[in-house]
Amino acid sequence: MRHLIDPSNLTRDEVDTLIEQAEDIKNNPGKYADVCKGKILATLFYEPSTRTRLSFESAMLGLGGTVLGFSNADASSASKGESVADTIRMISCYADICAIRHPKEGSALVASRYSQIPVINAGDGGHQHPTQTLTDLMTIHAVKGRLTGLTAGFCGDLMFGRTVHSLVRSLAGYEGNKFIMVSPKELKVPNYIRDESGCQIIAESENLEEYIGQMDILYMTRVQRERFFNEEEYVRLKDSYILDKEKLINSKNDLIVMHPLPRVNEISVEVDSDPRALYFEQARYGRYIRMALLMMLLNAAA
């Protein structure tokens, strides 16, 4: 039985296979309509979500399976004090696979240790978010045709942004990728991510305009309010970066602007119509890659 807790749980070959499979699903959805017939996905969401939970559910439904779960901790026995370990023991009796999102770092790993079914980490606190990374890799591959030799700029909350941590970890495993980290000094990418990923950071700055011209990818992120210890600090930092048309003037024509969404203020809506804005398309890919992932973990074939 396999789990997906961290991007490193998948080999590079497996990621390539998932992307290939997801592209085939996108082009031939009918072929996959029954491959998970009779299978049940449980979505255990202890934290808010729109895209991740709904794309997981839509993915399972698109494969002919069914879904159950909860979308907030108050609606589950967590509100009565039940531990993740006990909850997952129960869920293992009711479903064939589960996706879990939880505010505490490491909770998906804990769940996987007590589970009888594959566990997918759908975000554990400010730690990792491997299925967003698969979505991001599929998007980059679809547009750039490769995952190597790219200069990726990450901008915003690099400290608490779990999507950043997982994507940096994955992209660092491909040859020739370089990283430009743009954040306020309070929200720099954590040392453990730099050290473990071995990512090649060519610049680290508080100034987006200075480096935007070197980037092939600009990955914007929301300042993660829910991870702050004090609201004043959040208010002070929340609008550190607002990408608008003017800031894009010096960027490459084939830059892609990505964002895991939800966006708050960090990308002005005037950017949405720019051909470089890819974030809504990116969200669409999330469903296909999750279909491919569910198939892989359930050993389903078309």
Does 66 qualify as catalytic in the annotation?
no
Residue 103: CB minimum distance to ligand NCD, A: 11
Residue 200: CB minimum distance to ligand NCD, A: 24
3, 39, 53, 101: the catalytic one is: 101
CA distance 136 to 170: 10
Residue 213: CB minimum distance to ligand NCD, A: 26
Nearer to ligand NCD, 39 or 130 (CB): 130
Residue 107: CB minimum distance to ligand NCD, A: 14
254 exposure class (CB count in 10 Å sphere: 0-12, 13-18, 19+): exposed
3, 102, 127, 129: the catalytic one is: 129
Nearer to ligand NCD, 51 or 169 (CB): 51
Nearer to ligand NCD, 252 or 263 (CB): 263
Nearer to ligand NCD, 141 or 259 (CB): 259
Does 51 qualify as catalytic in the annotation?
yes
3, 51, 162, 165: the catalytic one is: 51
Nearer to ligand NCD, 9 or 214 (CB): 9
Residue 258: CB minimum distance to ligand NCD, A: 11
Tokens representing 41 are 């996905």
CA distance 175 to 156: 25
Does 101 qualify as catalytic in the annotation?
yes
39, 43, 52, 131: the catalytic one is: 52
Q: State the residues that interact with ligand NCD by CB under 6 A.
A: 51-52, 123, 129, 132, 162-163, 222, 260-262
Catalytic positions, please? 51-52, 80, 101, 129
